[in-house]
A = this chain, B = another copy of it.
Amino acid sequence: MPQVKDPSAHHHGNLRAALLAEAERVIDNDGLDALSLRGISKALGVTHAAPANHFGDLPGLLSELAADGIRRLAARQAAAVKEAGPDLRERAHAIARTYFKFAVEHPGLVTLMSRSNRLYRDRPSIKEADAEARRMVDEIASENQKKKKLDPVRAAAERTALRAMIHGYSMLYIDGRLGPTFASLPEGMTPEAFFDVVLDVIDFP
């Protein structure tokens, strides 16, 4: 068959970045299940096998996407913590609030980030981004432990409680499973504001 002599045919320029951008667009607009390699390839005018050069396979692409998401989230959390000042509780709430806001803005991406079965969790890019994100929570918990001379198990439980609460609340919300809850709330109370009250139920820090 005729070969199309398009100079850009063999060198898209920045296909890798374009694929990631298009994948994120699809994921956040139509959900993780709507994403396919063939779909994003066609959208960029490239054949279905092109992504393999840059990402190997689908989990490979998703891993890079997730790692990027984790990094961006961690950056925003770091900024929020900085702005929150020295108070430990303020800092913890800033981390949680920022996560939730990010999850509302990018529900598909956050869903992907927490779905180990769709990515290669062991990739350095993900492990490092994950560690960076966890470091902030650990720092707060450690300071609190030192200040209150807490038993190490209690300190670990506080860390885990905050993580579980952030993850649980965000996922329940994204999944639409807090609908009845919000229906019973006062008019005008936003999910963000309610999350602050929920966080206050935790006895930490």
Residues of A that sit less than 8 Å from B by CB: 31-33, 114-117, 121, 134, 152-154, 156-161, 163-169, 171-172, 175-178, 180-181, 184-186, 189, 194, 197-198, 200-204
Contacts and interface: CB of A to CB of B under 8 A. Distances in A.
Given A156-B184, A167-B168, A161 B201 contact: yes
Contacts of A185: 153, 156
Nearest to A175: B116
Q: How many copies does the complex hold?
A: 2
A26 to B, nearest CB: 14
Contacts of A121: 176
Contacts of A178: 160
B154 A197 contact: yes
Given A201-B203, A203-B202, A167 B156 contact: no
Nearest to A33: B117
A201 B156 CA distance: 11
A116 B165 contact: no
A112 to B, nearest CB: 12
Contacts of A117: 31-33
Given A161-B165, A164-B164, A167-B171, 14 more contacts: A116-B175, A116-B176, A153-B197, A157-B198, A157-B201, A160-B169, A160-B178, A160-B198, A161-B201, A163-B168, A164-B165, A164-B198, A167-B168, A168-B169
